[in-house]
Amino acid sequence: MGRVNVKNVSRIFTKKEDNGSMEALHQVSFDVEDGEFICLLGPSGCGKTTLLRIIAGLETQTSGEITLNGVPITGPDPKRGMVFQQYSLFPWRTVIDNITFGLEMQGISKTEARKQVEKYIDLVGLEQFKSSYPYELSGGMQQRAAIARALANEPEVLLMDEPFGALDAQTRNILQDELLKIWEQKHVTFLFVTHSVDEAVVLSDKIVVMTARPGRIKEIVKVDLPRPRSRTSHEVNLLRDRVLKLLEEERFHR
């Protein structure tokens, strides 16, 4: 079960230098049903990463509440997996040892953990690279491994912060398709941050569009299109235009 409720969440950062303060998130509320695929979309600096980090438990909100299955979030927990915007594989561990990390932390022995994560390595197609170190991997493979590492903990919610942001368009498309396959196989709620409208339209059940700073919810767009979605069909184009317009308005507001 992975039902996330975000209620009136604000986050104000205080600046040390001039005692000033900056509001990154303002009264953000939305609900995510169990097993839903949600994309968070918004202009750069609108607080998408901040929101995701609060849900992950790496950051705290100034006010408001976030619950997972009704239980307030207080700190990091393996139930909420995260894939970061930057490359975050541990460079001193091989791919397989990165993926077993979460299980090892649960006290499962290394050999047993290796057996258990085999299927996740298959799932992301890294069988040949499981004994490689991260520096030997391409960017796309690193993010695949990071996804496998998050999945191995069998989280209820998977938080992804522009995981494909640093990749070329081709790799990006491939990984989006793979991600959808994983989502269909595993019963996991996905919260996916992106600033690519295309990505959001192809992936999500709902697109949460945010305003420019301070981030507020501008609109929640339902995507009622069957999967697999063609990237160029008429409906997809219409939806893309609609979301792009929303974002454009934000550009002029600033």
Partner 1 sequence: MNFIKTIEEKGIEVLSLITAVAIWQIVADKVVHDTFLLPSFYDVMRAFFTIVKSGLIFTDILTSLLHFSIGIVAAFIIGIPLGISMGWFKKANQAIDPIIEILRPIPPLAWIPFAIVWFGLTHQAAGFVIFIGMIFPIIINTYTGFKSVPKVYVEAAKVLGCTRNIDLIRFIAIPSAMPSIVSGIRVAMGVGWMCLVAAEMFGVSDRGLGYQIWHYYYLHRMDVVLVYMLILGFMGLLIDRFFRYYVDAKLLRWTSGTVV
Ligand X SMILES: Nc1ncnc2c1ncn2[C@@H]1O[C@H](COP(=O)(O)OP(=O)(O)OP(=O)(O)O)[C@@H](O)[C@H]1O
Residues that bind partner 1 (CB under 8 A): 56-58, 75-78, 80-82, 84, 86, 88, 90-93, 101-102, 105-106, 133-136, 149-150, 153
154: phi > 0 → left, psi -120 to 50 → alpha, else beta; which? Answer: left
**What does residue 224 show for φ and ψ, rounded to 5 degrees?**
-100, 55
Residue nearest to Mg ion (CB): 49
Omega before residue 214 within 30° of 0, cis: yes
44 binds ligand X (CB under 6 A): yes
Nearer to ligand X, 103 or 191 (CB): 191
Which listed residue (2, 25, 32, 49) binds Mg ion by CB under 5 A?
Answer: 49
- From 43-51, 140-148, 226-234, 242-250, give the range in contact with Mg ion by CB under 5 A: 43-51
Q: Does 45 bind ligand X (CB under 6 A)?
A: yes
Q: Are 39 and 203 in contact (CB under 8 A)?
A: yes
Query: Least distance from C-beta 241 to partner 1, angstroms?
Result: 36
| Cβ 128 to partner 1 shortest distance, Å | 18
List the one residue from 4, 38, 48, 190 that touches ligand X (CB under 6 A): 48
Q: Is 22 exposed, middle or buried (0-12, 13-18, 19+ CB in 10 A)?
A: exposed
Site string for ligand X, 152-191 (x = CB under 6 A): ----------------------------------------
Nearest approach in angstroms of CB 91 to partner 1 is: 5
Judged by beta carbon, residue 77 or residue 177, the one nearer partner 1 is 77
Residue-wise DSSP of 152-171: HT--SEEEEESTTTTS-HHH
Report whether 61 contacts 215 (CB < 8 A).
Answer: no
Rounded to a whole number of angstroms, the minimum distance from the CB of residue 34 to ligand X is: 25
Contact between residue 131 and residue 95 where contact means Cβ atoms under 8 Å apart:
yes
Tell me the CB-side half-sphere exposure of residue 218, using CA atoms within 13 A: 26
Scanning 194-233, the segments in alpha helix (DSSP H) are: 197-203
Which one, of 176, 173, 164, lies nearest residue 140 by Cα?
Answer: 164
Residue identified by tokens 């509320």 is 29
Q: Is 194 in the site for Mg ion (CB under 5 A)?
A: no
Q: Please give the size of the binding site for ligand X, defined by CB under 6 A.
A: 12
The reply to whether 195 sits near ligand X by the rule CB under 6 A is yes
Which residues contact ligand X by CB under 6 A?
Answer: 13, 24, 42, 44-50, 195, 213
Which residues contact Mg ion by CB under 5 A?
Answer: 49
